[in-house]
């Protein structure tokens, strides 16, 4: 997507001074009209004084009101993109009260979209026989404020083919209002569509989660959507910035706000996670139990508390492992006789 339009920042005149001059011009025109009428009546000569009255009407009541159309207000953190007879005229970014060419018009894609929606709603209400009074509610300027796009939850497949539900929030602002106005039809809709595509494409490159602790050959664990949320969100921001840069938009941050398995596999994946957790816990318990049994036998041999043959050692190891690895508390049985 390319556009040949280069942004041209305008430095217009102060609107307050021009407004004062135009008000004086209206008053002067009104005074000339009144003076011409009075002089025409008092002298009885119509032609010269009527010309003065006509000049006062044209200058004060026609020309000055037309020139007042050039008075424009630019709000803080807002830009005005102007066109003159269908051609790009310039952009005003600084807030204030200005005077520009009275024949220029402000161009804003969001205003045009809101106006079209309001007109469609008005026609619909008229067809239903209702009063058609619908306001647009959107200014003609392009906001430069930081804005938030809440991307709705969407179902995608991760790299393993598992369906997941993912949602994200995009923090962005308009960096180049000229490109935002002319490069795309509606930059807000364009951003929303590109956000959906970016999230889908990036989410498909990673698994939701991994169920083992094995590292890669270089000792670095594989990135997952669950454990590497910040890194993957940064990747999404970089990819989205490339997509929307041609529209004059700047992506400040992308945050993943929702991440879960889809309903059809959520229960199965929960059981799998529980099984992995149980296996990992059992492995830790067995490793600890074996260490404790070895330590007990070594201490008995060192202190010569009792001399055990291999058969008795095997029985002792078996009993200790049952006690240490069992799910429930063991019930001891006291042997009052000889162990032999």
Q: What is the pLDDT of residue 135?
A: 45
Residue 234 is assigned to a structural domain of this protein: yes
Of the candidate ranges 29-33, 74-78, 175-179, the one whose mean pLDDT is the lowest? 29-33
Domain boundary (104, 119, 152) is at 104
Instruction: Please check whether residues 70 and 100 belong to one and the same domain.
Output: yes
Q: Both 154 and 251 in a single domain?
A: yes
Residue 253: pLDDT above 80? yes
Domain assignment of residue 212, yes or no = yes
Task: Give me the pLDDT at residue 159, please.
Answer: 87
Q: Is the pLDDT reported for residue 296 higher than 90?
A: no
Residue 205 inside a domain? The answer is: yes
Q: Contact, 254 vs 237, CB < 8 A?
A: yes
Looking at the structure, do residues 177 and 273 belong to the same domain, yes or no? Answer: no
Give mean pLDDT, residues 289-308.
71
pLDDT of residue 113: 54
Higher pLDDT pick, 126 / 36: 36
Residues 239 and 175 in one domain: yes
Q: What percent of the chain has pLDDT over 70?
A: 69
Q: For residue 106, what pLDDT band results from cuts at 50, 70 and 90?
A: confident
Under the banding of pLDDT at 50, 70 and 90, the label for residue 250 is very high
* pLDDT computed for residue 116 by the predictor: 57
Structural domain includes residue 202: yes
Place of tokens 């469609």: 120
Which domain covers residue 32, as residue numbers?
Answer: 13-104
- Output the six-digit token pair for 5: 């339009």
Domain annotation covers residue 340? no
Burial call 108-145: b when 16+ CB within 10 Å, e when fewer: bbbbbbbeeebeeeeeeeeeeeeeeebebebbbbbbbe
Q: Assess whether 61 and 168 both reside in one domain.
A: no
Domain boundary among 232, 261, 290: 261
Q: Quick check: is 29 in a domain?
A: yes
Residues 298 and 313 both lie in one domain: yes
The per-residue pLDDT for 147 is 92
Domain tally, the chain: 4
- Residue 336 domain flag: no
Same domain? For 202 and 131 the reply is no
> Within this chain, do residues 244 and 312 fall inside the same structural domain, yes or no?
no
Query: Among the residues of the chain, which ranges form H helices?
Result: 15-43, 47-57, 64-67, 109-127, 177-182, 187-203, 229-244, 263-303, 310-325
User: Does one domain contain both 217 and 166?
Assistant: yes
> What number of other Cβ atoms are within 10 A of residue 7's Cβ?
17
pLDDT at 325: 67
Q: Minimal CA–CA distance to 170: which of 199, 202, 203, 208?
A: 199
- Domain check: are 161 and 134 in the same one? no
């Amino acid at each position: 997507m390319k556009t040949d339009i280069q942004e041209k920042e305008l430095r217009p005149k102060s609107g307050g001074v021009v407004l004062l001059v135009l008000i004086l011009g209206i008053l002067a025109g009104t005074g000339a009209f009144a003076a011409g009428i009075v002089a025409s009546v008092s002298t009885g000569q119509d032609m010269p004084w009527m010309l003065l009255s006509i000049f006062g009407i044209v200058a004060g009541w026609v020309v000055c009101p037309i020139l007042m159309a050039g008075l424009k207000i630019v709000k803080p953190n807002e830009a005005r993109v102007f066109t003159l007879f269908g051609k790009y005229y310039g952009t005003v970014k600084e807030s204030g009260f200005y005077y520009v060419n009275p024949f220029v018009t402000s161009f804003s894609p969001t205003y045009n979209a809101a106006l079209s929606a309001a007109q469609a709603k008005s026609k619909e209400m008229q067809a239903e026989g209702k009063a058609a009074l619908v306001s647009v509610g959107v200014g003609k300027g392009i906001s430069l404020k930081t804005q938030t796009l809440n991307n709705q939850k969407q179902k995608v497949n991760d790299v393993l083919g598992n369906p997941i539900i993912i949602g994200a929030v995009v923090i962005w602002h308009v960096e180049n209002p000229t490109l935002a106005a002319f490069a795309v039809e509606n930059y807000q809709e364009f951003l929303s569509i590109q956000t959906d595509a970016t999230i889908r494409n990036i989410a498909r490159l990673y698994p939701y989660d991994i169920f083992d602790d094995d590292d890669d050959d270089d000792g670095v664990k594989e990135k997952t959507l669950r454990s590497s949320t910040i890194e993957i969100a940064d990747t999404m921001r970089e990819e989205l910035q490339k997509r929307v840069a041609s529209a004059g938009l700047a992506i400040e941050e992308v945050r993943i706000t929702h991440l879960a398995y889809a309903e059809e596999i959520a229960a199965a994946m929960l059981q799998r996670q529980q099984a992995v957790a149980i296996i990992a816990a059992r492995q830790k318990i067995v490793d600890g139990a074996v260490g404790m049994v070895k330590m007990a036998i070594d201490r008995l041999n060192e202190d010569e508390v009792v001399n055990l043959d291999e058969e008795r050692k095997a029985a002792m190891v078996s009993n200790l492992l049952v006690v240490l690895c069992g799910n429930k508390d063991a019930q001891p049985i006291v042997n009052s006789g000889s162990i032999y």
